[in-house]
Chains A and B, each alone.
Chain A
């Protein structure tokens, strides 16, 4: 199963609403997770089951979708949110990742 994220990168300002999409090449129900990765650090789980916020993750992050189309939204971008975001499908092996979306400061 291939995952296609868009955009590959974006520039945004603090306070902006940001939306990242992830499209699967075939249906994966809600077996999708989103991760945040900062330079030199391991990825951090943000959302699982497409829309459930991992414990400790700020509520400005939200996820939606099912089947083949998914969205990660940051309602009001904060300075600490500038990072790369990856989606991952966990419906079947191999456990593929999207190519990533880099969120940069405008």
Chain B
């Protein structure tokens, strides 16, 4: 079964750090881009970071310089190191797999987050 399982969430004080993990199973982890997406309670989805198969990384301005995404293919694991945490970072954090889609000619026609974990809650509060 294709599965993603997040862990590492919890309560942390403002300015503190936390490291989230995402364990992948049921697919060739090294062949896929991976992403983190968060959702504050009662709010919408916010893309947080991405890492490509070559280790290239991407962040939105809201977390750039504070969050670091990494992967360990030998362990089928994705990580998110979160530093200088703020109250506004309080959310459920999901990991997700990025999948490319191709047309009949082999030309890329789309991309989407096709597999999601169940999420892990991060609370930043004193």
A residues at B contact (CB < 8 Å): 30-31, 33, 35, 37, 42-45, 48-50, 52, 54, 86, 88, 90, 93-100
Contacts and interface: CB of A to CB of B under 8 A. Distances in A.
A31 B59 CA distance: 19
A97 B45 contact: yes
A90 B110 contact: yes
User: For the complex, would chain A's binding face be called helix, strand, loop or mixed by DSSP majority?
Assistant: loop
B112 interface: yes
Interface of B: 35, 37, 44-47, 50, 58-61, 94, 99, 101, 109-114, 116-119
B114 A54 contact: yes
Nearest to B60: A94
User: For the complex, would chain B's binding face be called helix, strand, loop or mixed by DSSP majority?
Assistant: strand
Given A93-B50, A94-B58, A99-B44, A42 B94 contact: yes
Contacts, number: 70
A23 to B, nearest CB: 16
B121 to A, nearest CB: 11
Contacts of B46: 97
Given A42-B118, A52-B101, A90 B111 contact: yes
A99 B59 CA distance: 19
B114 A49 contact: no
15 contacts: A33-B110, A42-B117, A45-B112, A48-B99, A48-B110, A48-B111, A50-B110, A52-B101, A54-B114, A86-B44, A86-B45, A88-B45, A94-B59, A95-B35, A100-B45
